[in-house]
Amino acid sequence: MPYGVGDNGPGISPAFPNGVFMNESDHYRILSAYLSRLRLVDFERLQQASIETTHQQLNGNNRSQLDAQQAKFDVIRAAIESMTDHDKNICNRIVRETIGD
């Protein structure tokens, strides 16, 4: 089978409709592309949102858990929006190369 195509283990579905699976190296490459282009303030905000999300998952009710999760998504969205177009294009290229598109 071609690289990245085939059985990725029990319970693991293909990452893409064309049957392509992502292995650990693929995940690392894509995550690294994004993380290496974020600002320190983005990491700090993400850490704080992650702490709050975990706290609400352990101690909160359903509404507070959903609110914390949404707040975390908002932090992630803001971090991506703060990236330059050049950095986004680099990430796009790496994703396309990784999935073979």
Half-sphere exposure (Cβ direction) of 15: Cα atoms closer than 13 Å: 16
Give me the amino acid identity at 67: D
pLDDT of residue 100: 72
Q: For position 3, what pLDDT does the model report? A: 39
- Determine the Cα–Cα distance for residues 60 and 64; give it in Å rounded to an integer: 6
Q: How confident is the model over 15-35, as pLDDT tens digits?
A: 566 666 777 888 888 899 999
Q: What is the pTM of this model?
A: 0.73
pLDDT of residue 63 exceeding 90: yes
Question: Sorting pLDDT into bands at 50, 70 and 90, what band is 4?
Answer: very low
pLDDT higher than 90, residue 13? no
pLDDT score, position 99: 76
Check if the beta carbon of residue 21 is closer than 8 Å to that of residue 30.
Answer: no
